[in-house]
Amino acid sequence: MTVQLKSVGIIFKHDFEPARMECQRLKEWFETMGVNVFTEEMASKALLSQCLEEETSIPESVDLVIVLGGDGTLLGAARKIGRYGLPILGINLGGLGFITEVPLKNLYKDIKKIIEGETLIFENRLMLEARVLRGDEEKCVFSVLNDVVINKAALARIIDLSVSINGTFLTTFKADGLIISSPTGSTGYNLSAGGPILYPNLEAFILTPICPFTLAHRPIILPDTSTIEITVGENSEEVTLTFDGQVGFDFMHKDRLIVSKSNKKLKLIKSPSQDYFQILRTKLKWGESSYGNGN
């Protein structure tokens, strides 16, 4: 697919001066070529009493969105502009960079390829839609790229989480929490909690308990046609729901969390210089010996 650049959006990491400076430099570079530029600083994390779709100053009409930061910045951008279906180029100014694949040193080289009409490779990444119902009232709705997590407060007891799949009861997890992850998010909190890595363009969810009381409770992979419904037990206390680890919501007894596949997908531009397995080898340090040089 080729993209003709008449206008671009640039979203950069919150309160990070190198990202701000690079945004200004890139904006001026685009403007010398007659490309209209819209910029936005990513907001900080928030704990909300009522979650609403996040607003953005980036118009729906731009041809491309460039994200300057780390994976966290791209996750925030996905919630803001994923609904537009715009192609996103993630530039890694952060640490791990599983989804911000392109290193800063390749930024201008790769954008020149776009301007010159080189065919780009996109991946359509599945997003999750999470809704919280309190009685008949919808208190919260979000589309997320990585995961939806239910967590107990630091000093709270183990919580009971009753889970149904497509209206059929699965089990009640007694655990510190529960992760509902997309394939993109499988290398995040899910991986730390012992869940599997899924190839990022698969159409599936992962349900992963956090420190389950019963060892038989293991992660389960579900098809993307599944609708997951979760309620918290009445004896559970101080339970928080988080979206992509960035937006929080107080999850109460009798609230119902419903997670399904979003009708939005993130259109992510793939790095031309490395594939997903190379990213895994690099970021997870596969193949590196932990025993020194063997002497």
Residues assigned a catalytic role: 71
Residues 6+ apart with CB under 8 A from 46: 246, 247, 248
Query: 127: closest CA among 53, 39, 54, 201?
Result: 201
User: How many other C-beta atoms can be found within 10 angstroms of the C-beta atom of residue 285?
Assistant: 10
CA distance linking residue 272 with residue 39, whole number of Å: 25
Query: 186: closest CA among 175, 197, 202, 171?
Result: 197
User: What per-residue string of b and e applies to 251-261 under the rule 16 or more CB within 10 Å gives b?
Assistant: beeebbbbbbb
CA atoms lying within 13 Å on the CB side of residue 64: 22
Distance of CA 112 to the CA centre of its chain: 27
DSSP structure class, residue 37:
E
CA atoms lying within 13 Å on the CB side of residue 9: 26
Rama region for 294: left / alpha / beta (φ>0; ψ in -120 to 50; rest): left
Question: Contact 125/144 with Cβ under 8 angstroms?
Answer: no
